[in-house]
Amino acid sequence: MDALTALRRFTIAGREPAVDGDSFVFDDLRFPRTAPTTYKRQAGGFYTLEALVFFVQKKDLGVGDYMRAARSSRVATVSNLDKTNLLNYITGKTDTSASIDRSSLRRTQAAREEQDAKRRKVDAAAPPAAEPAAAPRAAAPAEAVEAAPAAASAAAAQRRPAPAPPSEAKKAVQDIVADREIRIRDRNNILQSSKSFQDIVKWDQNLKKGAATGGKQPQAPVAGGAAPAGGSAAKGSGGAKRADGVPIIIVPSSLTAPLTLYNVKEFLENGRFVSTAERRKAGAAKVPEVLVERVHPTLGLIRYKVVDSTSKFHQRHWDRVVAVFAAGPEWQFKNWKWGSPVEIFSRCQGFHIFFDDKKVVPSILSWNVSVFPIKKQSRNMDQLQTHRIWETLDKWMEIRAPNLLPNPRRRDDDDDDD
């Protein structure tokens, strides 16, 4: 019998439970005063036995008198929303109540039994506590007073059970969280750099050679391997255009492709997929190119130019292509400088985006592209896929196109590259 049923039977019989210390006694049943009952609050949680017993005892008081009495007795009150139904049930006017949740009692008891079993298991595995040494009979009263607190603390520490090991359910949750975590950096690759310092080393060698021979001192190079201003690799009067610049990403021009110029900025910048049809319905206009900005974990802001046509490409544009999103049909690459998909995806990073309710186009599986499915209706996985796309492209650029990664000193100059 649970506490709520015992209280109801006593109330119907016109009896009150006896109080024995911190417990209520119902004949041969005993419950702690703070034991939760199976009667749910409308505001959440369950009423304690003490709160219900006090409510039955003060059921004839007005609202104000009842609140003051509960406050002075330091007892939780019953909400006005629950009073009528609760009183009708406890006094026997109704046989049941929608607020009674007996399954919660079974869950609470099961959890308590599990904790007790763990505690007994830990206590059984713990070594037996050492018997405290008897105090010398000749000890002075002052020494006994000083030794008593220390002995009591030591005994309490030995009696305190060791922390229970994590349950299997908790371990399973931890494993799920660990599987879904994405490690950006670790203690090894955080020390790696994609920059080249060969120009700095060469300049230092020439500096030492000039100092030894008394010749002209060489000009210091710009950090990151860039040539100094006015040199052959900088833009200036009579100078050639820099070989590096804004990286280029090519997406399909077909409106049936999942990723186009209409929605690529929202997807790659914010990790949110909006279909091309939705963008066009909202009034989005077709533009020849889109500038996508992305904050790299270590390099800061990087800008990418996204296009869907190569008809106006020159050699300087092809040199800056870092990624191509393939739709599937080979006509996407018609009139490209690179003749076949095999050559295309050997020169840049290939991606393929498709809806998870469809199969991958067979030709995609024969090309060197990374495949990323997205959900057609749910948007909760968009950011994860976007993160994986950037992570894949970062690794490719660090190895194959480090000259296109930004240098903080000339990041603002990259925008004027066409």
Strands 46-48 and 36-40: antiparallel
For 113-117, 297-301, 400-404, which range has the lowest pLDDT when averaged over its residues? 113-117
Contacts of residue 244, Cβ cutoff 8 Å, sequence gap at least 6: 226, 320, 403, 404, 414
Categorize the per-residue pLDDT at 312 as very low, low, confident or very high, splitting at 50, 70 and 90.
Answer: very high
Using alpha carbons, select from 341, 338, 340, 353 the residue that is nearest to residue 392: 353
Per-residue pLDDT, 150? 58
Per-residue pLDDT, 245? 82
- The secondary structure of 282-342, three-state, reads CCCCCCCEEEEEEEECCCEEEEEEEECCCCCCCHHHHCCEEEEECCCCHHHHCCCCCCCHH
User: What is the C-alpha to C-alpha distance for residues 298 and 189, in angstroms, rounded to an integer?
Assistant: 12
Using alpha carbons, select from 305, 267, 314, 272 the residue that is nearest to residue 287: 305
3-state percent helix, strand, coil for the chain, nearest multiple of 5: 45, 15, 45
The token pair that represents 276 in the structure block:
């091309």
Per-residue pLDDT, 391? 93
User: What is the C-alpha to C-alpha distance for residues 209 and 218, in angstroms, rounded to an integer?
Assistant: 10
Query: Averaging pLDDT over each range in 77-81, 132-136, 153-157, 399-403, which range is the top one?
Result: 399-403
Q: Is the pLDDT of residue 19 over 50?
A: yes
Using alpha carbons, select from 334, 325, 306, 311 the residue that is nearest to residue 364: 325
Using alpha carbons, select from 320, 244, 331, 315 the residue that is nearest to residue 289: 320
Per-residue pLDDT, 174? 79
Per-residue pLDDT, 162? 61
Q: Is the pLDDT of residue 117 over 90?
A: no
Token pair 């090991």 is at which residue?
165
Q: What is the pTM of this model?
A: 0.44
Query: What structural domains and CATH numbers belong to the chain?
Result: 3-104 (no CATH), 200-228 (no CATH), 248-416 (3.40.50.11990)
| 94 DSSP 8-state letter | S
Under 8 Å between Cβ of 48 and 36: yes
Contacts of residue 330, Cβ cutoff 8 Å, sequence gap at least 6: 341, 363
Question: What are 214-253's pLDDT values in tens digits?
Answer: 655 555 554 444 444 344 333 433 333 434 689 999 999 9
